[in-house]
Homo-oligomer: A and B are copies of this chain.
């Protein structure tokens, strides 16, 4: 089979197309022929060496994929060859609490990922792609949509009528916008261009701020809520934006901490976390159960993945560069 591999940790970029033996499914595994892969900023960090992220090499990058079942292990009874499936971000995390073992098994992290033709995975880890949902759409869900769902629905307990603040227009933020709207919430968004602001409004954002014009976006967010502060922030920036997010949220409010865009460590005003009685949830994607829930919402028509652009497999490096440029809006897909 064809696969892209990260071949070195120095001298990035180092993505190389290679040919590997076809994987064989174990007794309770299935073999999936991958048709669509979607990219996350984590893939940029891995492949392009951003923030010094490393891992074993050579290694196949990327975590998000959908495809068709190509073969079944001898003990598998609940799937058939040809079934359309979407892969989970962490194949061992089916349900229940998060553990270190689940984290270690994330595709494309410490182990090989999905930027290849074929992969063998436990049958129990896959989620069926329902009729009416394309494989490109399904491939956008495992990391970004599940992360946004976990942040707002599972951990956040979002209720209709609450106000959600999203930062930017990357994959997680755009899914957070769509999920918040689906759940009856009001969405405030900040972005870096008027064109992106326009698209965020089209997707249902009630108010959008171009933060290049108004850097004090936390004050703006408070104004949009009568001075009280928002109920939830989907914090994808990290340490550089977190202090503003803490200012933007109401007493007793919720911050879902997701991103490392601005770094992994920073000066944080912890005193306000306690004085305001805030709830801060670190979100690292989510279980297969959440992927099934998100997929169900797409099938019901309540959630429409926003696909920025589709690249052919051969142009995978270009797709990563496009993601790194920040020019995208929503998800970038690679078709095999």
Q: Which residues of A contact B (CB under 8 A)?
A: 26-28, 75, 94-100, 102-103, 153, 155, 157, 159-161, 179, 182-184, 186, 228, 238-239, 242, 250-252, 257-260, 264-284, 287, 289, 293-294, 296-297, 300, 302-303
Contact = CB atoms under 8 A, between A and B. Distances in A.
Number of copies: 4
27 contacts: A27-B28, A28-B28, A99-B251, A102-B251, A103-B251, A103-B277, A153-B160, A159-B183, A160-B179, A160-B182, A160-B183, A160-B293, A160-B303, A184-B184, A184-B302, A186-B300, A265-B270, A265-B271, A267-B267, A274-B282, A275-B282, A276-B282, A277-B281, A277-B284, A279-B280, A279-B281, A279-B282
B266 A260 contact: no
B300 A161 contact: yes
B277 A280 contact: no
A178 B253 CA distance: 26
A252 B257 CA distance: 13
A98 B27 contact: no
Given A27-B27, A266-B268, A267-B267, A275 B95 contact: no
Contact of A264 (B102, B269, B283): B269
Contacts of A250: 100
A203 to B, nearest CB: 15
Contacts of A153: 159-160
B278 A282 contact: yes
A3 B177 CA distance: 49
A100 B279 CA distance: 15
Contacts of A296: 161
A283 B103 CA distance: 28
B280 A273 contact: yes
Nearest to A284: B277
A184 B178 CA distance: 11
B183 A27 contact: no
A265 B272 CA distance: 9
Given A102-B251, A161-B296, A259-B274, 9 more contacts: A95-B96, A100-B228, A100-B250, A161-B297, A184-B297, A264-B269, A264-B271, A267-B267, A273-B282
A293 B163 CA distance: 12
